[in-house]
Chains A and B, each alone.
Chain A
Amino acid sequence: MAATDEQVLSALRSDDAAELLALRLRLAESAERAGTLDVAYVTMESPVGLLLLAATGRGIARVAFAGDDGGVDAVLTALAARLGPRILRSAARLDDATVQLSEYFAGARREFDLPLDLTLAVGAFRRDVLGALPSIAYGATASYAEVARSTGRPLAVRAVGTACALNPLPLLIPCHRVVRSDGTPGSYAGGPEAKRRLLDLESAA
């Protein structure tokens, strides 16, 4: 008796997940070699939730808190629109960043030594604010008003808040060290809990 279409197709359509995964890893390596990737990304677990790290050929362009449902997809869609759609998961470009962040979370690193791509920080003032943040030392904090003064625009306190909220590279550019004048942490892309946690980590280390 002849087989049915269903029997034939279920055999021919049985996908091998391990084979596909290996092929995808190989594709990412080939794309890196061919120089055709706009963005390479990885995800990593951290004490402040799932992080997505993305790099262009110029440097790390995005650190995103991706813990929510659909968080990774939403971040990648936004990156595709801003930096180009040729995006693949590929670890090579981000090895240094994941190592340095792991050291930071372990209390073993106070500064990052990574090439950064600030393409996603639009506007001169926003870049000025981001440029001022690394001078707030590990374990210290500054108020939004103090950062506004340090950029030469003492009245732009709210704009400093916006620049911090839109920081494309949280953790690497330490916007978590900018707090309210009354000393409370204030808002943060990763949530106020994460901000408190980072400040505690830095004061304990």
Chain B
Amino acid sequence: MPFEAVVQLHGPAILRVCLALLPRQDAEDAWSETFLSALGAYPDLPIDANVQAWLVTIAKHKAIDRHRTAARAPELAADPPDSAVAPADPLEHADLRAAVRSLPAAQREAVAFHYLADLPYADVAAITGSTEAASRRAAADGMRTLRRRFPGGSD
């Protein structure tokens, strides 16, 4: 498959994952780094590889790199008022995304990889180094919090 088709097919899901893990500007940078790095390694990818799981794994590592960078230079972690590429989220989406980012890491990743990137729990577990059952539980716990935090919803 030409890489253009890979970006076409998986680009939206990987952006959803990045936006769940990072503030918008960092998320866009992580998306770019993910696909640039995937492009370089693409010729060596086995023909039967699960491309979506492969890309999510790369995105997860790029997000961790960005978190580390942000920890060293806190001002980089701040969401700039205007993104260079995209318009700002509608407010309720920005709040909800912030709610995803404030989930404990296991819940955040389980929600992002299962609900936003459509990976089965077996793949989520493999990527997060957890078990299928624990991933399922983490995703359910995360979704419960997000339902409560949804604008208009209440406890």
Which residues of A are in contact with B by a Cβ distance under 8 Å? 1-5, 7-9, 11-16, 18-20, 22-24, 26-27, 30-31, 34, 36-37, 39, 41, 73, 76-77, 79-80, 84-89
Tell me the minimal C-beta distance from B145 to chain A in angstroms.
Answer: 10
Q: Does B121 contact A (CB under 8 A)?
A: no
| Chain B residues within an 8 Å CB radius of A37 | 39
Closest Cβ of chain A to B32, distance in Å, is: 6
- Contact indicator A9/B92 (Cβ below 8 Å): no
- Tell me, yes or no, whether B85 is within 8 Å of chain A by CB: yes
User: Mask for B129-155, Cβ within 8 A of A = 1, else 0?
Assistant: 000000000000001001110101111
In the assembled complex, the Cα of A3 lies from the Cα of B96 at a distance in Å of 12
Tell which of A5, A76, A85, A89 touches B42, judged by Cβ atoms closer than 8 Å.
Answer: A85
A/B pair count, beta carbons within 8 Å: 115
Q: Does B97 sit within 8 A of A, measured CB to CB? A: yes
Decide: A23 and B28 in contact? CB cutoff 8 A. yes
Q: Which of B1-30 contact A (CB under 8 A)?
A: 1-5, 7, 11-12, 15-16, 19-20, 28
* Residues in chain B near residue A14, CB distance under 8 A: 93
Known: A12-B115, A16-B87. 14 other contacts (CB 8 A): A8-B96, A8-B143, A8-B150, A11-B96, A12-B93, A19-B85, A20-B15, A22-B85, A26-B32, A31-B36, A36-B36, A80-B1, A84-B43, A85-B1
Complex formed: what's the CA distance from A12 to B111 in Å?
A: 10
Residues of A within 8 A of B28 (CB): 19, 23
A24 to B85 CA separation, bound complex (whole angstroms): 11
> Are A86 and B15 in contact, CB atoms less than 8 angstroms apart?
no
A8–chain B nearest beta-carbon distance, Å? 5
